[in-house]
Amino acid sequence: MITLELITPQNAMVFKYIRLRALQDTPTAFSSTYAEGSKLTDDDWVKRAAQWSGAKSVGYPALDGGTGVGIAAGVLDQNDPLRADLMSMWVAPKHRRLGIGRMLVDTVVMWARGQNVLNLGLMVTSNNCHARQFYQSVGFALTDRTETYRNDPSLLNFEMCQFLS
């Protein structure tokens, strides 16, 4: 059975495990890299977990019998209180197409609504067609905004948004 928990300092090592797996599995899906993440100390991961469970952000690991198989986070926009971003979305390959991604997105959407957010955005790398299709299936739409992908200037990040009511 899949369960979602809040990322907290108490489960920071689960967070670390999932995040590093995600960075290895889909390296062009994130702005950070496995090389960067693997250099962090356990204390750094505890601090990150505390940040992800703060007043302006939330993160959820998806667990299958205690093993981390997915992750997603929501972060309030610093300049626009009506906007938040879905970030760090990932599901382990053997657990894809089982509804875990939708469960993670729905949980971040519920959090965003509780924060009175009207616009939930995300960035998806241009070479990640499956992710774009998934995001469209859960209510996100491409906008006109693009930016160069941080780790490979030959790729773009496409913005997608979902309007919440």
Q: What is the pLDDT of residues 61-108, one digit of tens each?
A: 999 998 999 999 999 999 999 999 999 999 999 999 999 999 999 999
In a domain, 130, yes or no: no
pLDDT band at 153 (very low <50, low <70, confident <90, very high): very high
In a domain, 164, yes or no: no
Kindly report, residue by residue over 126-146, the tens digit of the pLDDT: 999 999 999 999 999 999 999
Total domains in the fold of the chain? 1
In a domain, 86, yes or no: yes
In a domain, 137, yes or no: no
Domain that holds residue 22: 2-119
What is the SS3 string spanning 73-103?
EEEECCCCCCEEEEEEEEECHHHCCCCHHHH
Longest CA–CA separation in the chain, Å: 41
In a domain, 147, yes or no: no
In a domain, 103, yes or no: yes
**CATH number, domain containing residue 48:** 3.40.630.30
